[in-house]
Amino acid sequence: MSAPEDAGPPAALRRIKLSDQIAEDLCNRIARERLAPGDRLPNERALMQHYGCAKGTIREALKALEVQGLVTMQSGPNGGPEIRPISVDAAAQQLRRFLHFQELDFAQVYALRRSLEVTLGVSVVGRLGDAEFRRLEANMAACAAANAGDQRGLGRVVEVDFHDILCDASDNPLLAFMCRFLNSLLRDLVEFRSDSLTEHEAFGAHNLESHRALVAAYRAEDAEAVRREMHNHMCCAEHFMQRLDAKFRKDLLSRRGANGAAS
């Protein structure tokens, strides 16, 4: 069967813009030379000479790297493109753009959370110091205050922040990123279609009780207790999401939902 007339040439044969080729080559250079945040790429004039192209082409290539979060442009006589670490937010936003065109539901999210949050929770046993415990205690106090003041949206947001504190203590960057990404979906993009005060109060009480039990297990460095509490917490949180008729907003490109989220 012949290809449709409007299919165009195969992707491999399509012409790639020179600026995109240069941007890709600069990415390879960053990897090949193991450039670290704070290191500099050559300035525009040097890049123009190296690639034999106009200033506009180089600027377009550098702008593409800047949009990706790989470089930031420094001004002044010694300025130029400076390597910077890609933030979690920038990487997560790319994943959100992908998921925007998919069907996403809480069964899928919690299938991952029941595994990843438990794994991460156990992995940070013994890694929490005084500073981390102070942050966790302050977070629980903020949750209690929000719940007592009937600030349901704020309470749900702060409850998710508890789990980000655990991510900060992890020495596994991939695991921490995946957990933090799921947390961001819940914090930013959930809306509750049920306004049942009783259910929201029960949800807030459950989250606070679970977080207190987790902190006690962490202080005792009891990995099995952490595993048990975190698993139960994830199962109960999913149950409350169903009872409150929680839904993901359709626009996953947005940053923050109006109604908060769930722990």
**What percentage of residues in the chain have a pLDDT greater than 90?**
57
What is the fold of 89-248?
Four Helix Bundle (Hemerythrin (Met), subunit A) (1.20.120)
pTM of the entire predicted model: 0.76
Q: Average pLDDT of 245-263? A: 60
**Dihedral of CA 179/180/181/187: which sign?**
positive
Asked if residue 100 lies in contact with residue 56, where contact means CB atoms within 8 angstroms, the answer is no
Q: Give the contacts of 41 (CB within 8 A, at least 6 positions apart).
A: 26, 29, 30, 35, 47, 62, 71, 80, 81, 82, 83
Instruction: Give how far the C-alpha of residue 218 lies from the chain's centroid of Cα atoms, to the nearest Å.
Output: 24
Asked if residue 95 lies in contact with residue 223, where contact means CB atoms within 8 angstroms, the answer is no
Look at residue 92 in the predicted model and tell me its pLDDT: 82
Span 181-236, pLDDT tens digits: 999 888 887 878 777 888 888 999 999 999 999 999 999 999 999 999 999 999 99
Q: Average pLDDT of 28-41? A: 92
CA distance to 123, 170, 225, per residue, from 221 (Å): 11, 15, 9
- Burial class of residue 220 in the structure, from the number of CB atoms within 10 Å of its CB (0-12 exposed, 13-18 middle, 19+ buried): exposed
Cα–Cα nearest to 261, from 165, 61, 249: 249
In the predicted structure, residue 257 carries a pLDDT above the cut 60:
no
Compute the distance between CA of residue 160 and CA of residue 134 in angstroms, rounded to an integer: 16
Look at residue 3 in the predicted model and tell me its pLDDT: 47
Count of positions (residues) in the chain? 263
Taking each helix axis from N to C terminus, what angle separates 44-51 and 55-68, rounded to the nearest 10 degrees? 110
Look at residue 112 in the predicted model and tell me its pLDDT: 94
Span 104-159, pLDDT tens digits: 888 889 999 999 999 999 999 999 999 999 999 999 999 999 888 777 677 778 99
CATH architecture, domain defined by 11-83: Orthogonal Bundle (1.10)
Look at residue 85 in the predicted model and tell me its pLDDT: 86
In the predicted structure, residue 11 carries a pLDDT above the cut 60:
no
Two tokens, residue 201: 């109060």
Look at residue 254 in the predicted model and tell me its pLDDT: 60
Look at residue 8 in the predicted model and tell me its pLDDT: 52
Look at residue 220 in the predicted model and tell me its pLDDT: 98
Look at residue 13 in the predicted model and tell me its pLDDT: 44
Span 51-95, pLDDT tens digits: 999 999 999 999 999 988 899 998 877 778 999 988 888 788 888
Span 153-183, pLDDT tens digits: 777 789 999 999 999 999 999 999 999 999 9
- Domain extents in the chain: 11-83, 89-248
